[in-house]
Amino acid sequence: MNSGRCFGAGSALLVLIFSILCLTVSALTALSSASGERVLSEKVGSVISDYYSADCRAVETAVALREGIRNGEVPDKIGEIAINVDENGQYSFSVPINEDLALAVRLAEKDRKLMIVSWLQTRTNEWTPNETLKVWTGETVP
Amino acid sequence: MKKHIGFGTELTLLELIIAVGLFAVFAALDLRIFAEAHRLEAQSKKLDHAVIVAESVAECFKAGEAPDLYYDIDWLPTDNVSADYIVTVDIASEDKIESARISVKDKSTELFSLTASVPKEALP
């Protein structure tokens, strides 16, 4: 009677290969997820750092513009940043944050002082909507 | 009666020894991968917290305050004696602009830093 060997020869190896495979897949998934998280954290840090660098340049530009206005002379350009004046007498300029984003600043003059109208992060590259999916607009009944 | 131990039993034992050995080797490798994943996750968690704290301090500085902050291992505010993470603000004053270098450090390294600036005569 062979009651001690209910599993055939090699079953231990098969179980082992399966458990090693499970363990390895699980470990690699954890590593890939952690690596992705690390890359995302670094990207967020880089964007925040770039934003504050641009904010510093915007502050410098606004201060230089204020000094120019006090001296009675509005410059066309401060450093590499072009100053635009619109029909309402508001000054605007844009400081690049990175290749996709810019800090758009709009200032208004009041009693020889500059007031911040807007200080916004905007997108510089064009947004192209995806129109490949046909959606029923309700105009015609199919 | 003589107990018979056959070739099949020896083979099973050998097979089990090989299986346990292989499992030990691969488990050790997988444990290293798990440890590396844990290290990366801990680093990114630290960096996330450091970025959030630095941004908060930068906004405080722009609003007129420049606090040095201390955090414990769970990123909860604490005193400077038991702090695991320290936020320092180094202020540099120029002609018309005041700038601050905000640095978040743990005990040995700098995790994140940024520079914020504000005009001395505030733009309203």
Q: What is the pLDDT of residues A65-82, one digit of tens each?
A: 888 888 888 888 888 888
Q: How many angstroms away from the CA of B63 is the closest CA of chain A?
A: 14
Tens digit of pLDDT for each residue in B48-103? 999 999 999 999 998 888 778 899 999 999 988 889 999 999 999 888 889 999 99
The answer to whether the Cβ–Cβ distance between A107 and B123 falls below 8 Å is: yes
pLDDT at B12 over 90: no
The answer to whether the Cβ–Cβ distance between B37 and A27 falls below 8 Å is: yes
Residue in chain A nearest B8 by alpha carbon:
A9
For tokens 């505030």, name the residue: B122
Residue in chain A nearest B103 by alpha carbon:
A49
| B18, two tokens | 């090989």
Q: Choose the weakest-confidence range: A7-11, A16-20, A97-101, B40-44.
A: A7-11
Whether A92 contacts A76, CB under 8 Å: no
Distance CA B38, CA B30 (A): 12
Which of the four pLDDT bands, split at 50, 70 and 90, describes residue A6? low
pLDDT of residue A58: 93
Which residues of B make CB contacts under 8 Å with A? 8, 11-12, 15-16, 18-19, 22-23, 26-27, 29-31, 33-34, 36-38, 40-41, 43-45, 47-48, 50-51, 54-55, 58, 96-97, 99, 112-119, 123-124
As a whole number, mean pLDDT of residues A37-59 equals: 94
Domain ranges of chain B: 7-119
Rounded alpha-carbon distances, angstroms, from residue A13 to A9, A27, B7 = 9, 21, 18
pLDDT of residue A142: 61
Cβ neighbour number for residue A86 with a 10 Å cutoff: 10
Share of chain A above pLDDT 90, in %: 44
Domain ranges of chain A: 15-123
- The angle that helices B7-62 and A11-70 make with each other, rounded to 10 degrees, is 10
pLDDT at B104 over 80: yes
Complex ipTM > 0.90: no
Share of chain B above pLDDT 70, in %: 89
Q: How many angstroms away from the CA of A48 is the closest CA of chain B?
A: 8
For residues B111 and A5, which has the higher predicted lDDT (pLDDT)?
A: B111
Cβ neighbour number for residue A37 with a 10 Å cutoff: 18
pLDDT of residue A1: 44
Residue in chain A nearest B100 by alpha carbon:
A56
As a whole number, mean pLDDT of residues B26-52 equals: 95
The mean pLDDT of chain B is 87
Which of the four pLDDT bands, split at 50, 70 and 90, describes residue B110? very high
Chain A environment of B103 (Cβ under 8 Å): none
Tens digit of pLDDT for each residue in A87-134? 888 999 999 998 889 999 999 988 777 888 999 999 888 777 777 877
For tokens 């204020």, name the residue: A66
Whether A63 contacts A91, CB under 8 Å: no
